[in-house]
A and B are shown apart, each in its own frame.
Chain A
């Protein structure tokens, strides 16, 4: 039932001799909602643009629906993909309605009633020139435009950065509704971890040019734990060299450890080594993000 809609195979991309993506491999199945995280400059936008074929990879391949993206002029692909760039591409002198009409001409299929409904839900005035719209309204308008041809695969680069909490919630609910409706696949980058935590079923985290995390969100939360030892308790070398220990620090008298793959065996090991019962604390995605960047 599920099809692979996107395949990245050892993708490298750099600019002016500086490597940004250093060998990224991943697959996306239809129906997934993937949240893309990474600090500023980690390469989120570069990854999205390389996937979309706006930038060609220096090495490796990207395929969308089984077609390599360096041949994205393939008309059939265009109709199946939607993209909301970080900086909108609206034309200042055009009203939203005029701009939508312009874009609609490039597509065989266009769902104007959907856009009219969403414009109302998002509270976007369509008869005002883009130059007169606020940053948030422009962002909402460019999201609308990208949905007109009802793409199966939607890429959004920081879609909610300029939206207020109310508009963000509405936008997320619309996104959920679109996903629930059919086999739509969404890949979006964001700094608002709490939003991603709601709607994504899978998390990608880019760090140092690699996908440091590519995991189902539930699984990531279940296996990542923080353990604080009682004051004074020593950390043995066995624990110190445990391969799933991603961070060790001392806060006051206590050792604080973060493990990436916690399980019963590691629980037993730690219990034996410290003569106590470890109390694993499960972390929110934001805390996991912070721990991975310490």
Chain B
């Protein structure tokens, strides 16, 4: 369900928070959907349970997840899938900035870069 890379410079909890946020914003996770338990996710990825609970707590504090005692965490009713297009685009901005900077360093033209992006998107949609 999630793709975590413990050996990157980005802390694991942050990777998880970002992925859940994106999946909720993109409606891949819908209101009421259950998330795996802390223990399940920790054992599956062989990562520290505290890391997972830290991510869940942050998402709960943001209002994206609901916690009920003794039950799995669920996607909150209020926020799920309601993010505007503008807000979702804003989330994409850092990735775009990175792409633009990399393309510049590689001295690729705007056309060539956009073409490559379009090809990658078509591949993803197949």
Contacts and interface: CB of A to CB of B under 8 A. Distances in A.
A284 B6 CA distance: 8
B107 to A, nearest CB: 14
Given A281-B9, A285-B7, 12 more contacts: A176-B43, A176-B46, A176-B48, A177-B43, A180-B42, A180-B43, A198-B47, A199-B46, A199-B47, A199-B48, A201-B48, A201-B51
B46 A180 contact: no
A283 B12 CA distance: 13
Contacts of B101: 279
A67 interface: no
Interface in A189-211: 194, 197-201
A173 B49 CA distance: 11
25 contacts: A33-B50, A169-B46, A172-B46, A173-B46, A176-B42, A176-B43, A176-B46, A176-B48, A176-B49, A177-B39, A180-B39, A180-B49, A194-B6, A197-B7, A198-B6, A198-B48, A199-B47, A200-B48, A218-B12, A218-B14, A221-B11, A279-B101, A282-B9, A284-B8, A284-B9
A286 interface: yes
Contacts of A198: 6, 12, 45-48
Interface of B: 6-14, 38-39, 42-43, 45-51, 54, 101
Contacts of A221: 9-11
Contacts of A177: 39, 43
B67 to A, nearest CB: 17
A200 B48 CA distance: 6
B10 A176 contact: no
B124 to A, nearest CB: 26
Interface residues of A, number: 27
A222 interface: yes
A33 B10 contact: no
Nearest to B47: A198
Contacts of A33: 48, 50
Nearest to A172: B46
B43 A173 contact: yes
A122 to B, nearest CB: 15
Given A284-B7, A285-B7, A286-B7, A218 B13 contact: yes
A179 B46 contact: no
B100 to A, nearest CB: 12
A31 interface: yes
A173 B48 CA distance: 9
Nearest to A32: B50
A97 B28 CA distance: 50
A282 B7 CA distance: 11
A217 interface: yes
Q: Lowest 4 CB-CB distances: which A-B pairs, in order?
A: A282-B9, A218-B11, A172-B46, A180-B39
A218 B54 CA distance: 11
